[in-house]
Amino acid sequence: MEKEHIAVGLDIGTTKIVAMIGRKNEFGKLEILGIGKTKSLGVHRGVVNNITQTIQSIQLAIKEAEENSGKEVSAVTVGIAGQHIRSLQHSDYITRKNADEVIDELDINTLCDQVHKLVMLPGEEIIHVLPQEYKVDGQAEIKEPIGMYGGRLEANFHVVVGQISSIRNIGRCIKSAGLELNAVTLEPLASANAVLSQEEKEAGVALIDIGGGTTDLAIFKDGIIRHTAVIPFGGNIITEDIKDGCSIIEKQAELLKIKFGSAWPGENKENEIVSIPGLRGREPKEISLKNLAKIIHYRAVEIIEQVFLEIKNYGHEEKRKKLIAGIVLTGGGAQLKHLKQLVEYITGMDTRVGYPNEHLAGDTNKEIASPIYATAVGLVMNSLEKQAQREKEANEEVPEDNEIEVKKAEELKEDKKETEIHKPRKSFMEKFVDKLKDFLDDAE
């Protein structure tokens, strides 16, 4: 029984691949049973560019997680990101045949299906269709139209689009690694689940997840996702700049960034110097910490300004769309010294670093409660939520002692449309995953 309640999140990043095994404890908190982390070798800016290397990295991460937890992994929930992800706003409507009948799930399904038929650029496919607000016969700002009367049902949608080939490649890697694909989730949404509170989502907040290859943005307002974007720069490009600017190898540049790096050059004195061992008997290299901070600062400013442009595009400067809770930074890049202060300085918005510790059990290892693992924690949470939902739907049986309910159930069997309404509606992601599985099966 216990095995059913275990979930596995797989975060396929540019610098690392993380497999995390977790379950809910008796207090409803997330207990991490095991974690596996390997260097990501076949991924560039969130996109798989070497299938064989990615499969090997996934297998190593899963193996390590299995050894740490003593559990066996068969299915995973995977996160997708990458520079190919884009989002758009779209409005659509349907005219109902009978305005005297209440709006039901079938109507919402029909409306969402209509959005799914939008013509995309060649090679692109809709991944998420997220309804924002509904309008019924011109009455605006309706969050839940089910049960209302009306002839015209209208909605604003946040549509997330991605390159189908990139997503299929991830699916191929997972299948070839001997795993089953449980679900696919957009990584900024998974990170948001792990580090944001409901109050922040209501007030309005921008989540900035700074990874190795990309920086993901997710904006929430009134508890609804309003905008997503993927910026094709992350921590790796800062390491590249240090490598080129200081004429050192990548490994040394990464260590320098982590140990001595700062996004604010003002705090380092001119005479602060760090010595780097020379290559193969060469003289050690001396690097000024002030110069190091300047290199990091210029690139960090560029990344923040691009993200801030996306926040402005969403409409943050309008009174109605103002993000009261400001910005939450997460991901490995969020640990860069003084980055929080730099973000506040450039954007003028309140900023905090987001740790996924709110949802984790009290005895969780401190290392796991780091911003680096925000996406993996979010993926495990999403997977557990879906499991609980499926169980709830399976357990919803008709009470035998209630004759009216039994009668209703019999009527439902006869009436096909009614059956469709009461059948649990598959989300777009579930349909998308089913389609992806069919494609991978046919490709064999």
**What's the angle, vertex CA 282, arms to CA 280 and CA 283, rounded to 5?**
145
Residue 266 has pLDDT above 60, yes or no: yes
Q: Give residue 7's pLDDT.
A: 92
Q: Give residue 406's pLDDT.
A: 47
Residue 429 binned pLDDT confidence (cut-offs 50, 70, 90) = low
Residue 398 binned pLDDT confidence (cut-offs 50, 70, 90) = very low
Segment 23-44 mean pLDDT: 90
Residue 401 has pLDDT above 70, yes or no: no
Interval 70-122: pLDDT, tens: 889 899 999 888 788 888 889 999 999 888 899 998 899 899 989 988 888 89
Q: Which of 234, 193, 195 is nearest to 216 (CA)?
A: 234
The pLDDT > 90 percentage for the chain reads 52
* Average pLDDT of the residues of the chain: 86
Residue 310 binned pLDDT confidence (cut-offs 50, 70, 90) = very high
Range picked from 76-85, 241-250, 269-278, 391-400 for highest mean pLDDT: 241-250
Q: Give residue 400's pLDDT.
A: 47
CB atoms within 10 A of CB 367: 9
Q: For the chain, what's the residue count?
A: 444
The pLDDT > 70 percentage for the chain reads 91
CA end-to-end span of the chain, whole Å? 33
Q: Give residue 271's pLDDT.
A: 80
Residues 35, 15: Cα–Cα separation, whole Å: 16
The model carries a pTM of 0.85
Q: Give residue 141's pLDDT.
A: 86
For 104, phi and psi rounded to 5 degrees? -125, -175
Residues 224, 158: Cα–Cα separation, whole Å: 10
Q: Give residue 426's pLDDT.
A: 63
278 or 139, which is more confident: 139
Q: Give residue 444's pLDDT.
A: 66
**In b/e form, how buried is each residue of 16-37, taking b as 16+ CB within 10 angstroms?**
bbbbbbbbbeeeeebbbbbbbb
Residue 390 has pLDDT above 60, yes or no: yes
Residue 335 has pLDDT above 90, yes or no: yes
Segment 28-32 mean pLDDT: 88
Looking at CATH, the fold of the domain delimited by 235-298 is given as Nucleotidyltransferase; domain 5 (3.30.420)
Residue 419 has pLDDT above 50, yes or no: no
Interval 225-256: pLDDT, tens: 889 888 988 999 999 999 999 889 999 999 99
Q: Which of 16, 26, 118, 34 is nearest to 331 (CA)?
A: 16
Interval 148-186: pLDDT, tens: 999 999 999 999 898 989 889 999 999 999 999 988 888
* Exposure of 430 in the CB half-sphere (CA atoms within 13 A): 10
Residue 1 has pLDDT above 90, yes or no: no
Domain-wise residue ranges, the chain:
86-164+397-443, 235-298
Q: Which of 302, 305, 311 is nearest to 205 (CA)?
A: 311
Residue 428 binned pLDDT confidence (cut-offs 50, 70, 90) = low
DSSP conformation letters of 409-428: HHHHHH-HHHHHHHSPPPPH
Residue 405 binned pLDDT confidence (cut-offs 50, 70, 90) = low
Segment 272-280 mean pLDDT: 85
CB atoms within 10 A of CB 411: 11
Q: Which CATH number fits domain 86-164+397-443: 3.40.710.10, 3.40.50.720, 1.10.10.60, 3.30.1490.110?
A: 3.30.1490.110
